[in-house]
Amino acid sequence: MNNNYKPIIWSGTAILIILAVFLVVVTNQTLNTATTTNTVSFSGEGKVVAKPDVAKIQLSIVTDALTSKTAQDDNSKKSKAVTDYLKKQNIDDKDFKTTGYNIYPQYKYPQYGGQPTITGYQVNQSLEIKVRNLDSVSNILDGVVTAGANQVNGLTFEIDDPDTLKAEARAKAIADAKKKANELQSQVGISLGKIVNFSENTGGYPIPIYYDAKLEGRGMGGGGGPTVPTGENEIVVNVSLTYQIK
């Protein structure tokens, strides 16, 4: 073979290899496009209802004083009294924590303009308490306010470990979606292939119960605690299954 033709032969071979690879890529892309283009989706919903097993109380200790140090010292005394009370009620250290601590200057604004002056300071310490004995919630609400908390910002009844219930609701939702898919196959006469996409959305949250310490008269010699029915919590899972149409 003439050596003059060797560069031409090698160039032609390289071009053929590049074209072959390009055709494989294009063919594969076409097949994947066909797999995902001819699809149909079905939604399903699953619900699980269960009684809550924990209560979460959000409260605040608010203290006003002329100086920042006095406000913090006074607030610390109230916080310690609340903590001591919770320990006496057998609330574990892991089940109550400070979620916020803020110091706000208090201003007086001149009637006819000018610079405002600081008249004092306010300390706001927010706490969250998890109560596992639901029968004691009412008494604890009354007790923490008597001990020094002057704002109860919210009360919710929750399920401490909802993952098992979510899994149960998810299984129901998937079964619901598959049932709809099987019904459509028989009604329309199509043939469904494999599932090519799945999405999930979880809902169902506890509704907070608001408790006004001032209206209830707590911390001022009032006896007993508020009535706080626990009710039931509903966990809802919605899923979407996308099938390939054969």
Specify the pLDDT at position 25. Answer: 42
Name which of 37-41, 118-122, 147-151, 194-198 the model is least confident about.
Answer: 37-41
User: Residue 222: which pLDDT band, with cuts at 50, 70 and 90?
Assistant: very low
Report the helix count and the strand count for the chain, using DSSP H and E: 5, 8
Rounded distance, CA 102 to CA 122, Å?
Answer: 8
Rounded distance, CA 230 to CA 158, Å?
Answer: 9
Looking at CATH, the fold of the domain delimited by 52-160+207-229 is given as Alpha-Beta Plaits (3.30.70)
Q: What is the mean pLDDT of the chain?
A: 82
CA neighbours within 13 Å on the CB side: how many for 2? 3
Q: Please identify which residue in the block is written with the tokens 């009032």.
A: 222
Nearest Cα residue to 156 out of 47, 54, 48: 54
Specify the pLDDT at position 226. Answer: 65
pTM over 0.75: no
User: Residue 127: which pLDDT band, with cuts at 50, 70 and 90?
Assistant: very high
pLDDT digits (tens, 9 = 90+) for 228-239: 777 788 899 999
Residue 10 has pLDDT above 90, yes or no: no
Residue 157 has pLDDT above 80, yes or no: yes
Specify the pLDDT at position 161. Answer: 86
Rounded distance, CA 216 to CA 145, Å?
Answer: 10
User: Residue 37: which pLDDT band, with cuts at 50, 70 and 90?
Assistant: low
List Cβ neighbours of 170 (8 Å cut-off, separation of 6 or more).
46, 200, 237, 239
What phi and psi, each to the nearest 5 degrees, are found at residue 18? -65, -45
Specify the pLDDT at position 12. Answer: 56
Specify the pLDDT at position 146. Answer: 94
CB-CB contact of 44 with 180 (8 Å): yes
Identify each DSSP E strand in the chain by its residue range: 39-50, 54-65, 96-108, 117-131, 151-158, 192-203, 209-211, 233-245
Alpha-carbon radius of gyration of the chain = 33
Residue 207 has pLDDT above 70, yes or no: no
42 beta partners: 241
Domain chopping of the chain, boundaries: 1-37, 52-160+207-229
Rounded distance, CA 110 to CA 54, Å?
Answer: 49
